[in-house]
Amino acid sequence: MVIKRPELGYSRKYLDFGSGFYLTNLRNQAVYWAKRVCIEKGGNPCVSMYELDTNDLTGHTFKGISKPWIDCILANRVNLDSIDKSMRRNLISTLRKYAKLDYIEGEVADDIVYSAIMVFCEMLIDARSQRAIDLVYELFATRIRYKNKNHQICLRTNLALSKLKWLKGVRL
């Protein structure tokens, strides 16, 4: 389906950077996303191409996989009621930190993230030192690291969507 004017209301909630309109600068990934959406919702796959002007937008770009990236992924993907109090406070703080941004950019978490989250939470609760906490983050990063080169930008506000210039749609 060609999307000339994206809208925020169609986004799923529990994605890496929360609700928003997701873009990538990688053709293979765009093709994969288009096919995946068609499998889930029907229709014919199409990649819509845009130019994005980030001037006048507030945003954050994660450089690689890091503790802040992991916290952002967890904050947007985990059921906050299902985790311990101190971790919940940390993730709510993370959500607040990024809540007002027009866009967030960074790597994609592998979709096995859901099965890894509960193990991560349990290990983090059991961690008794900062070194142990760091090791839990390292293990989790290894587990959810997407195997192929990847990239995503989540446009989170109508202002960000207004900075998109539609170029063309390519049917697959």
Residue 41: the pLDDT is 84
Answer whether residue 34 is part of any domain: yes
The most confident of the ranges 18-27, 69-78, 144-153 is 18-27
Q: Is 37 left (phi over 0), alpha (psi -120 to 50) or beta?
A: alpha
Residue 152: the pLDDT is 96
Task: Give the separation between CA 47 and CA 131, rounded to whole angstroms.
Answer: 44
104 phi/psi in degrees, rounded to 5: -130, 135
The predicted-structure confidence for 34-58, as pLDDT tens digits, reads as follows: 998 888 888 889 999 999 999 999 9
109 phi/psi in degrees, rounded to 5: -85, 140
Task: Give the separation between CA 101 and CA 130, rounded to whole angstroms.
Answer: 30
Closest CA to 76 of 143, 154, 23, 150: 154
| pLDDT band (50, 70, 90) for residue 79 | confident
Residue 144: the pLDDT is 79
Residue 50: the pLDDT is 97
| Domain limits for position 56 | 8-171
Answer whether residue 1 is part of any domain: no
Q: What is the pTM of this model?
A: 0.87
Instruction: Report how many domains make up the chain.
Output: 1
Element (H, E) at 164: strand 164-171
